[in-house]
Structure 1
Amino acid sequence: MLASMLEDASAQTSERVIAVLGSRLEATTRLIVGLHLKPSIRGDRRVLSKMESAKCLDDVVSAVVPDCRVGADNPLDVAVLRAQVYAAETAQASAERELSKETFRRENAAAVRHGP
């Protein structure tokens, strides 16, 4: 009896929390998705348009996650691939920055050696 009452109270509380925070969760999801995927979707107006017009979480996900058939529609596989792409993009950007620094360092050293 007590367990049943506690389960009912828990269910009612969960429903209230979801009702109150539902729109905030969608906004938070938009922010998180935008922050994580922005480099890979920058300039893609189709994706940005779909993202702006999304009305629910499923719309947000479908706007930013392409309809690819990786691993028999396994969302975890898609997430892993996205993480790998993001990591590769980050590593590439870091390597390009280091290359630029090294190039400038060598050019400056050569200019100092040869003088004006």
Structure 2
Amino acid sequence: MSNLARKHQPHFQTIQKPETEVIKVKRHARITPGEKILALLLIAFIGIMAVQIISAQSKIYEVNKGIEDVKKEIQEQQIFNGNLEMQISDMSKYERIGEKAKDLGLNLDEDNVRVVEKK
């Protein structure tokens, strides 16, 4: 039966349309000008930030170098002060003071000695 139904169907004539020319639009760039501007701004921002980071690191380095120089000077001054304290303790010994007094012509008179107490 199915074959009969196909035989009795009227044949439709297909109408051919005249062929039209299809014009393809070529895109020159896949990236729009706005995207290019945004990309350039991003690159510029990254470059500026890189320069800022490097300059900040160099300033930090300079400050740390200055701190280390000051610490070194402090240590040298502490050593120098220690040496001076040793000289003071050597020069303030009783024997040395007694010798200097004799050289200058001073005599030790025990009756004339007064004891001064620290408050």
TM-score by length of 2: 0.34
Higher RCO (CA 8 Å, separation ≥ 6 residues): 1
TM-score by length of 1: 0.34
Q: Which of these two proteins has the greater Rg computed from alpha carbons?
A: 2
